[in-house]
Structure 1
């Protein structure tokens, strides 16, 4: 069983409170997700983030195929980090940690995602050609959108 890891860090010139308020609100995820993915929240984003929260989305990650994605917020330390885990969706495993750390002049946001692709060896064979490049593209889009929204870190 092959488990992959994606790590991403980005510094933004905003306060820790502002970063937390934006990142911990599931409704903001749509604004930092590529439009072609047709990201839409179905339920679960109607209150502030809490451990045990279930959020249901519809997303179109590949080939125009709509996919239901259900995540659970499993851990929350207010202003510091939260963890979401896929309960149902396109991955065999999805465990996503979001960290926010104050640094001089702003914040460092760090994402660590441990994931497993479905379909066994076939999934592993397509991972470097389809899955990994798609995830890299999504996180690059997110990086650019966050700069648009909050400015570039100097």
Structure 2
């Protein structure tokens, strides 16, 4: 099991950041183009809820399209939500999104716990490129959120 922990301070109020981050339709705006990220199916409700299932197509490697299905398993309004992979490239994917108000804005904490498939081959892949790719995706997201909300 591996974990990626990222923190970002955003100069906006909690409600604004929550509304943006908890809306699946905004994921594409903060995901690098090379990931080929497309939402295939999601409920019509804009508001996230436990049990919400969202289906995507992603191209994490070599432009090969893969299905990725996540379930929103926990939601505490204006505080946190959790998405877990049900179908996709990982053996395990558990992503916690935490928000808390701070002076001048919001601190956002992401905790991603993940495990690549294929046993020791997955561990080699994690060491060689998966860990680096996840960091690049979150670095991209950091910059995208600064462009949307401004720098803290």
TM range (shorter): over 0.9
Q: Deviations over 1:41-74 (max 9, x none)?
A: 0111521100000000001111011010000000
Partner of 1:147 in structure 2?
146
- Take 1:30 and 1:130, find their aligned partners in 2: how far apart are those partners? 22
- Take 1:150 and 1:45, find their aligned partners in 2: how far apart are those partners? 27
Partner of 2:83 in structure 1?
84
What is the count of residue pairs matched by the alignment? 151
Deviation at residue 125 of structure 1 after TM alignment: 1.2
Partner of 1:136 in structure 2?
135
Partner of 1:52 in structure 2?
51
Deviating 4+ runs (over 4 angstroms): none
What's the TM-score, normalizing by structure 1?
0.96
What's the TM-score, normalizing by structure 2?
0.98
Contiguous gaps of at least 5 residues in structure 1 = none
